[in-house]
Amino acid sequence: MSNDPQSRIIQVDMRGQVCPSTLLVAMDNLNRHGEGLQSGALKLLIITDNREALHTVPATAENMGYAARITKTTSHYEILIGLPDQER
């Protein structure tokens, strides 16, 4: 998944949050922005400090036909979700 400057990035910051589940919030956002994500107009950036989400969020995104890329910073993780390269 490339950093396409054409795509708008929607940021969802879930640091310090246990409830509700990061996965469910991520899924909710993926559903809500489904159209934008599928057309390539949008990307979703999930900011979290929940290590578990690093597995569950990308797995779910891939099932839905998206690609996810994880970036680690000193204090948190960023999961960038969008269309896979070959479908753009």
Question: Which residue lies nearer to other proteins by CB, 23 or 46?
Answer: 23
**Given 12, 14, 23, 81, the residue binding other proteins (CB under 8 A):** 23
**Phi and psi torsions of 47, nearest 5°:** -105, 125
The Cα–Cα gap between 61 and 57 comes to 6
Q: Counting contacts by CB under 8 A, is residue 64 touching other proteins?
A: yes
| Residues at the interface with other proteins (CB under 8 A) | 18-24, 27-28, 30-31, 34, 52, 55-56, 59-60, 63-65
